[in-house]
Amino acid sequence: MKKYRYIIVDVLLLVLTSVLVASLDAVYYHSNETGSTLHSDSVMQERNLGFWESVKGENKPVQLKSGNEVDRYKSNLILSKARKSFEAGNLYQALEACNKSIQIDTTNAACYFLRAEVNRLLNKDLDAISDYTKTLQLNANYYQAYLNRGILCLKTKKTAAAYFDFTKAIMIKPLKTLSFLISHAFRAVF
């Protein structure tokens, strides 16, 4: 049995390495084609940190102008309570708070993503897949939603959908996606 495990792991690593090389080639080709430069995550984090340091100095009260902004603000307050409940392990409270947040603002992708996470942990796979899908409709670059939906598609025997989700996630964030898939594969095998 151990012999087969090693063969499976070797084949998986070979496939993932070839996918990584192909995705990096595609990213390199696309960046040369558009004339843009690639930046590492650490460079982008430094840029974001500089931005937030400048914002931190401006400690002004929030001025909400329209009804949509008020709804977004209320929704985010409830979402923060849902996250605290989720982190504390109170999944049903988190689910209830997510539902309230979504009722207030139906365009907040983070609400759908958190509700999908809660549904996944409660083994409500079809509800979780539906919420991940709504998350991706609102924000198509949410690579973690593609990964999680792909895992659930594999669990529900929808391999073609899982392949599509993993491919989309690799296109968005190749290295993080492949490290996630490798770690998930090792947990499944061992």
The predicted-structure confidence for 56-115, as pLDDT tens digits, reads as follows 444 444 444 445 788 888 888 999 999 999 999 999 999 999 999 999 999 999 999 999
Q: Quote the radius of gyration of the chain (alpha carbons, Å).
A: 20
Tens of pLDDT, residues 1-19: 455 555 666 666 666 666 6
Cα dihedral 128/131/133/134 (nearest 10) = 180
Q: Count H helices, E strands: the chain?
A: 9, 0
State the number of CA atoms in the 13 A half-sphere of 95 facing the CB: 16
Q: What is the mean pLDDT of residues 110-124?
A: 95
Exposure string (b/e) for 32-68, b if CB count within 10 Å is 16 or more? eeeeeeeeeeeeeeeeeeeeeeeeeeeeeeeeeeeee
pLDDT at 168 over 70: yes
Domain ranges within the chain, ordered by starting residue: 66-139, 140-190
Nearest to residue 116, comparing CAs of 101, 98, 103?
98
Q: Domain 66-139 belongs to what topology? A: 1.25.40
Nearest to residue 76, comparing CAs of 60, 64, 92?
64
